Amino acid sequence: MTTLDTSLDSILVQLGDFGKYQSFMFGLVCLGVILHSGVHVAFVFTAMDLEYRCAIPGCDTIKPQFEPPWIKNAIPYTEDGPSKCTRYVANNATSFNNCSKDSDFVTLVERCDSFVYKTEEYSILQEYDLQCDDNLWKLALVGTINNVGQFFGLFISGVISDRFGRKVVFIMGLVVCGICGLIRTVAPTYIWFLVLEFLDAIFGAGSYVCGFIIGVELVGPKRRVLTGTLISSCYAVGEVFAAGAGWISQAWKPTIYILYGPTLLLIVYFWIIPESIRWNLSKGKFEEAKETLRQAAKVNGKTISEDALEKLTMVDQNESKNSFFEIFKSTTLVLRLINCCFCWITCAFLFYGLTLNSVSLAGNSYLDFIFTSLVEIPAYFACIYVVDKLGRKWSLSGSFFLTGVACLVFLFIPKDSHTGSLVVYLVGKFGATMAFTVTYVITSELFPTPLRHSMMGACSTFGRIGSMVAPQTPLLEQIWNPLPILMFTTMSVIAGLLTLLFPETLNITLPDTIEEAVNIGRSKRNVPKEQQ
């Protein structure tokens, strides 16, 4: 541990692990995280596929019913209801009798270009004429473009935050993201909509990470796990906020106004929240760091000696020169890295796939999405207990298997049993959330200190492959309806088995060299001295 770590942590303890100052700033950060989460998943409701059927000229009234008594005479039926884009050809040899006779139509079918919708919901489906199965990929592409933007945005924001500060990325990322989102409501074409979706995701990508860092670094060591869990829970609250906005507005443009509008107000954060203390110290901005701590002490009613503050300038300058490519000198660590990358891809695929597909369950799309989001919160808190009781490896493997079993059981639940299918689905999402959380923990403990950050970055980058593919899973239903859930089951089981190849990292001393990382679980060096 560096001089910086020990000195700063001791000062934070003197200030009070979670005093008034930290509570207020942490609350502001949580608000930003909630808004970030809301705009991140907004595409689920702006690009929703809706229930609709062909309009039948001469039969449908000004305010037509979705399934009037005569509808089966005019439109072919599938197990999911009336065909969306085909209708029977009208029999011109007879006069219509309110479309109530079979003879009013012949068995030939034709494609239609006007539609009747089951609800009053309005998404980009109608805005850009994306109806019918051959356009379904365009709706799914919106989510993929969003995640591609996140992929590039995380890399760019990392560079910017290291150079200009966490606060800049946290605030300006959300503000510019909000501007792009609001401009998207006047996008003249589908292509322009995608371009702005991409830019929106790029600018907002780093806000969550920087907000997490700012929030966690303000508190004492004993409160970091709790604050980290609370910030993760705020992400779930943001998802609920997005579903609520979509449910209330029932239209994509008002939904965007509700979700993106408040982000513009965060510009005032520049004059309220502090920059990351550790970032200021790492950049030699000692006075800014000291001023933040003095302000915290004043609000908390504590005192800090100037001698303690002066010790913060004594930062350990012995930086490691280890390169990312050092990892390839060890076959064990290369295989471990590949395994970690697969687990990250699977976690992202399961987490986002189950979240996005929840709107396709048989019940209320918005309510199902809300339940699927809220189940993340108990999963985050359960991880605090489980990883220390069962260990990292068994917790991660068990979480994957829990998701896999739940998805498999889901396939056999009757369609008319919505409550039963929803409960099982939520169990799957609970397991996926735990797996994602534990993956963060175990990955950070498997690699040596000089390479830890780069390994986490590499795994997280590969994990984005899973989140990019997840929005495309509804297209698999066109091949075979159970295929998306079957994919979730298969990936979960494979990842659960591969996880068992990891060494256990519970109660180890984190490795500082490649040799120590390779020998995790093999030598006493990995056990804290007090337990040897």
Considering only residues 117 and 451, tell me which one the structure prediction assigns the higher pLDDT.
117
Whether residue 66 lies inside any domain: the answer is yes
Whether residue 306 lies inside any domain: the answer is no
pLDDT of 453 higher than 70? no
* Helices and strands per DSSP (H, E), number in the chain: 23, 6
Q: Provide the percentage of residues in the chain whose pLDDT is more than 90.
A: 47
3-state secondary structure 240-296: HHHHHHHHHHCEHHHHHHHHHHHHHHHHHHHHCCCCCHHHHHHCCCHHHHHHHHHHH
- H runs (alpha helix) in 41-83: 43-46, 71-74
Q: Are residues 155 and 227 in the same domain?
A: yes
Whether residue 123 lies inside any domain: the answer is no
CATH number of the structural domain spanning residue 29: 1.20.1250.20
Give, as one character, the DSSP assignment of residue 133. Answer: G
pLDDT tens, residue by residue, 18-56:
889 989 999 999 999 999 999 999 999 999 999 999 998
Whether residue 128 lies inside any domain: the answer is no
Q: Are residues 84 and 17 in the same domain?
A: no
Q: Are residues 150 and 242 in the same domain?
A: yes
Q: Are residues 286 and 156 in the same domain?
A: yes
Q: Do 8 and 218 form a contact (C-beta atoms < 8 A)?
A: no
Whether residue 129 lies inside any domain: the answer is no
Q: Are residues 36 and 56 in the same domain?
A: no
Whether residue 125 lies inside any domain: the answer is no
Confidence (pLDDT) at 38: 95
Instruction: Tell the burial category of 219 from Cβ atoms under 10 Å away from its Cβ (0-12, 13-18, 19+).
Output: buried
pLDDT of 227 higher than 70? yes
Whether residue 69 lies inside any domain: the answer is yes
Structural domain tally of the chain?
3
Whether residue 479 lies inside any domain: the answer is yes
Q: Do 361 and 419 form a contact (C-beta atoms < 8 A)?
A: no
Q: From residue 102, how far is each of 55, 136, 430, 521 by CA, in Å?
A: 17, 31, 50, 75
Considering only residues 20 and 219, tell me which one the structure prediction assigns the higher pLDDT.
20
Q: Are residues 380 and 452 in the same domain?
A: yes
Mean pLDDT of 237-263: 96
Confidence (pLDDT) at 185: 96
How far, in Å, CA of 155 to CA of 20, rounded?
A: 34
Using the 3D structure, point to which of 318, 345, 371 is the last residue of a domain. 318
Confidence (pLDDT) at 6: 57
Total-model pTM? 0.88
Q: From residue 99, how far is each of 58, 85, 91, 446 by CA, in Å?
A: 8, 18, 10, 69
**For all residues of the chain together, what is the average pLDDT?**
86
Q: Are residues 468 and 499 in the same domain?
A: yes
Considering only residues 263 and 77, tell me which one the structure prediction assigns the higher pLDDT.
263
pLDDT of 199 higher than 80? yes
How far, in Å, CA of 463 to CA of 349, rounded?
A: 8
Q: Which two tokens stand for residue 41?
A: 């998943």
Q: Which two tokens stand for residue 433?
A: 């959330």
How far, in Å, CA of 287 to CA of 313, rounded?
A: 10
How far, in Å, CA of 491 to CA of 487, rounded?
A: 6
Q: Are residues 339 and 364 in the same domain?
A: yes
Could you tell me the sign of the dihedral formed by the alpha carbons of 321, 324, 325, 327, in that order?
A: positive
Q: Are residues 111 and 142 in the same domain?
A: no
pLDDT tens, residue by residue, 316-347:
444 445 566 778 888 899 999 999 999 999 99
Q: Are residues 286 and 326 in the same domain?
A: no
Q: Are residues 20 and 113 in the same domain?
A: no
Radius of gyration of the chain (CA): 27
Using the 3D structure, point to which of 318, 344, 362 is the last residue of a domain. 318
Domain that holds residue 84: 52-118
Q: Are residues 17 and 147 in the same domain?
A: yes
Q: Provide the percentage of residues in the chain whose pLDDT is more than 70.
A: 92
pLDDT tens, residue by residue, 488-520:
999 999 999 999 999 998 877 778 788 888 888
pLDDT tens, residue by residue, 373-397:
999 999 999 988 898 888 989 999 9
Mean pLDDT of 58-78: 86
Confidence (pLDDT) at 418: 84
Mean pLDDT of 252-261: 97
Considering only residues 211 and 6, tell me which one the structure prediction assigns the higher pLDDT.
211
